[in-house]
Amino acid sequence: MIPYSLLDLAPIVAGSNAAQALANTLDLARHAEQWGYTRYWLAEHHNSAGIASAATSVVIAAVGAATRTMRIGSGGVMLPNHSPLVIAEQFGTLASLYPGRVDLGLGRAPGTDQLTAHALRRDVNAAAENFPRDVMELRVLLGDPEEGQIIHAVPGSGTHVPLWMLGSSLFGAELAAYLGLPYSFASHFAPDALLPALKIYRETFRASPELAKPYAMPALQVVAADSDAEARRLFTSTQQTFVNMRRGTRGQLPPPIDAIETYWTPQEKAQAEHMLTYAAVGGPETVRDKLRQFIELTEADEIMVTGMMYDHAARLHSFEIVAEVMRKL
């Protein structure tokens, strides 16, 4: 068995609100800890009617208070939106509140559209170009104080919060390898570069004080239910969401539908199915087989699963099935 972790976007379902979405996140986190999940990560997205985790560090703090031992963190913080000092202070605070439990996953994308990125008061292009430098600055701010260092993160300095590099292209793999950081690939929505990115990461990895050898944690969509048919129906919420993104009509997470073929065009279907290449959808046996295939394909050291479902009870059941399957692999 390899470790298994969970990525949550705190989905806001149609007809509901952020308060209920965050209550569901805390409930799911408590269950995930009982089911043996290693990490519970939250992702930063902005100006999205269907995602409640925009203030990522605040939600992580709430998850930390709701749990006792499971690791908590970001999957990830979009560093171009922030100054390294602010993130060092936020995650230094989290590490002070929950010692030995906090991860800091970092991404280079803005996590939103260009107009919203401007509203975040960041020069997105310049910030993305400065991303490697900002990661190294953040590493210094969370490490032990250096001689002559003038600026310190308080809290943060000396906490050594583990940094993770996230990616959906080859860039993150190259940077993770160069800095000697653990790496998580977003194959749950960007399948094309998965295997090339993992190959580059492993072949060019340089040992660091934090990590002696490569450690890869690819992510995939999982929707599990008692039967293949029920899982496929639940999965239509995600499929509709991906189609809506292409149409420019983002919104709250829609309820599942019985006839997905009537919802999308053939081109939209092909696009959505391609983006969702790495998805394990089905009953326990089907999900077991797909998870085993994914682990063998990627040679993963750990996997991260995610899955947005309209019905909270169904979502809980799905992640419980995943945990049962993973314990038996």
pLDDT band of 5, cuts 50, 70, 90:
very high
How far is it, in rounded angstroms, from Cα 174 to Cα 268? Answer: 32
Mean pLDDT along residues 164-180: 96
Mean pLDDT along residues 322-329: 96
Helix (H), strand (E) at residue 223: strand 219-224
Cβ contact 190:219 at 8 Å: no
Cβ contact 99:132 at 8 Å: no
Alpha-carbon distance values, 46 to 26, 50, 112, 253, 314 (Å)? 20, 10, 5, 15, 26
Mean pLDDT along residues 203-228: 97
pTM beyond 0.75: yes
Strand pairing report for 303-306 and 4-8: parallel
Q: Looking at residue 122, what is its pLDDT? A: 62
> Tokens representing 106?
């970092």
Q: Looking at residue 222, what is its pLDDT? A: 98
Cβ contact 298:198 at 8 Å: yes
Q: CB under 8 Å to 111, separation ≥6 — which residues?
A: 43, 44, 45, 46, 78, 81
How far is it, in rounded angstroms, from Cα 132 to Cα 59? Answer: 26
For 61-82, give the secondary structure using H, E and C: HHHHHHCCCCEEEEEEEEHHHC
Mean pLDDT along residues 38-45: 96
- On the question of pLDDT at 116 being above 80, the answer is no
How far is it, in rounded angstroms, from Cα 185 to Cα 220? Answer: 9
Helix (H), strand (E) at residue 326: helix 312-328
pLDDT band of 125, cuts 50, 70, 90:
low
Q: Looking at residue 126, what is its pLDDT? A: 67
pLDDT band of 119, cuts 50, 70, 90:
confident
Q: Looking at residue 141, what is its pLDDT? A: 97
Mean pLDDT along residues 274-297: 97
User: Among 198, 216, 196, 270, which residue's Cα sits nearest to residue 239?
Assistant: 270
pLDDT band of 316, cuts 50, 70, 90:
very high
Phi–psi pair at 57, nearest 5 degrees: -65, -30
How far is it, in rounded angstroms, from Cα 234 to Cα 308? Answer: 9
Neighbours of 274 (CB within 10 A): 11
* Average pLDDT of the chain, as a whole number: 94
Alpha-carbon distance values, 160 to 85, 210, 237 (Å)? 14, 9, 39
Percent of the chain at pLDDT > 90 equals: 88
User: Among 14, 10, 111, 112, which residue's Cα sits nearest to residue 52?
Assistant: 10
Phi–psi pair at 121, nearest 5 degrees: 65, 40
- On the question of pLDDT at 181 being above 60, the answer is yes
pLDDT in tens, 235-269: 999 999 999 988 988 899 999 999 999 999 999 99
- Higher per-residue confidence, 301 vs 118: 301
Q: For the chain, what are the domain ranges?
A: 1-161, 219-301+309-329
User: Among 251, 272, 318, 294, which residue's Cα sits nearest to residue 37?
Assistant: 318
Q: CB under 8 Å to 48, separation ≥6 — which residues?
A: 54, 112, 250
Cβ contact 193:274 at 8 Å: no
Mean pLDDT along residues 83-103: 97
- Which of the following CATH numbers is that of domain 1-161: 3.40.640.10, 3.20.20.30, 3.20.20.80, 1.10.3720.10? 3.20.20.30
For 95-111, give the secondary structure using H, E and C: HHHCCCCEEEEEECCCC
Q: How many helices (H) and strands (E) does the chain have?
A: 12, 9
